[in-house]
Amino acid sequence: MADPESSGPIRGDRVETDLEVVAGVTDRGRSHERNEDAMALGRWPDGTVAAVVCDGVSSSFNPHEASRVAADAALDVLLTSADPAPDRVRAAALGAASAVAALGRSGDPHAPSCTLVCALARPGEIAVGWVGDSRAYWLTAPDAGEPARQVTSDHSWAAQMIAAGLLDEDAAMRDPRAHAITRWLGAGATTEVEVTTLHPEGPGLLLLCTDGLWNYLPDPAGLAAVALPELPGGGPIAAAESLTALALDAGGRDNITVVAIPA
């Protein structure tokens, strides 16, 4: 396989990048003083795509550094490993975990920390790995053979309460502890990477995003209704821009990162 093309880690108040087969936007939002998210994108000439999205944990020191280092380390593994896709995304997340852990001391509750979701997409197969509450969605048209759906499951207090049957989704998400994450990357964290593999039945859009987007629109069908109409005329960058604009128009209370991968 020919050498891949890479965007490198991308972070800034507002950055857009378009590699044609994958595109993303990361935006500071309207309330935060800086952007603590990061993304990193890569592609091969055959259309295989690698993407990483990280969200710095604001209660830690230098969360922007954690997300930057994690995105860089994960993309490096995705682009250089020859392992099967599911093994590669797991190794990418673990490589990111090691890089972030090196920024702090074990036992320090404020050591730089972040969440991560990453993907390796090739024709007929998409592998996704994640730690924390940054999400992946598979978005399809309403008349597609498979419905739009959330691919990842949050590693958060709310998700635990719902899974245990202790609270319904509405009650769990209203609780002040709803967004407390139960897994993350950082010094002293026990990194448990979750991995899943998709074999799409037809065309769709893989969306990777931070909670700066899904807090406003968590519904897969709703996300699809915003993103998919943008693809024919503008490609994945238009889809990412449209979803980012939605979050900003809704208040932009958090950093927003959106990566779109047509598949």
- pLDDT per position as a tens digit, 164-221: 777 777 787 787 776 789 999 999 887 899 999 999 999 999 999 999 999 999 999 9
Per-residue CA distances from 69 to 41, 173, 178 (Å): 14, 30, 27
Q: Residue 88: inside a domain, yes or no? A: yes
Is residue 108 predicted with pLDDT exceeding 80?
yes
Tell me the whole-structure pTM to 2 decimals.
0.93
Q: Residue 100: inside a domain, yes or no? A: yes
Q: Residue 164: inside a domain, yes or no? A: no
Q: Residue 97: inside a domain, yes or no? A: yes
Instruction: Give the model's confidence band at 11: pLDDT under 50 very low, under 70 low, under 90 confident, else very high.
Output: low
Average pLDDT over residues 125-131: 98
List alpha helices for 109-216, DSSP H.
Answer: 157-163, 169-174, 211-214
Read off the DSSP letter of residue 230: G
Number of domains the chain is built from: 1
> Chain-wide mean pLDDT for the chain?
93
Q: Residue 163: inside a domain, yes or no? A: no
pLDDT of residue 183: 94
The enclosing domain of 255 has a CATH number of 3.60.40.10
- Cα 66 to chain centroid distance, Å, stands at 15
pLDDT of residue 217: 98
Q: Residue 84: inside a domain, yes or no? A: yes
Q: Residue 159: inside a domain, yes or no? A: no
Query: Looking at this protein, which amino acid is placed at residue 61?
Result: F
pLDDT of residue 158: 74
Per-residue CA distances from 245 to 203, 213, 249 (Å): 24, 9, 6
| Structural domain boundaries, residue 227 | 5-151+183-262
Q: Residue 80: inside a domain, yes or no? A: yes
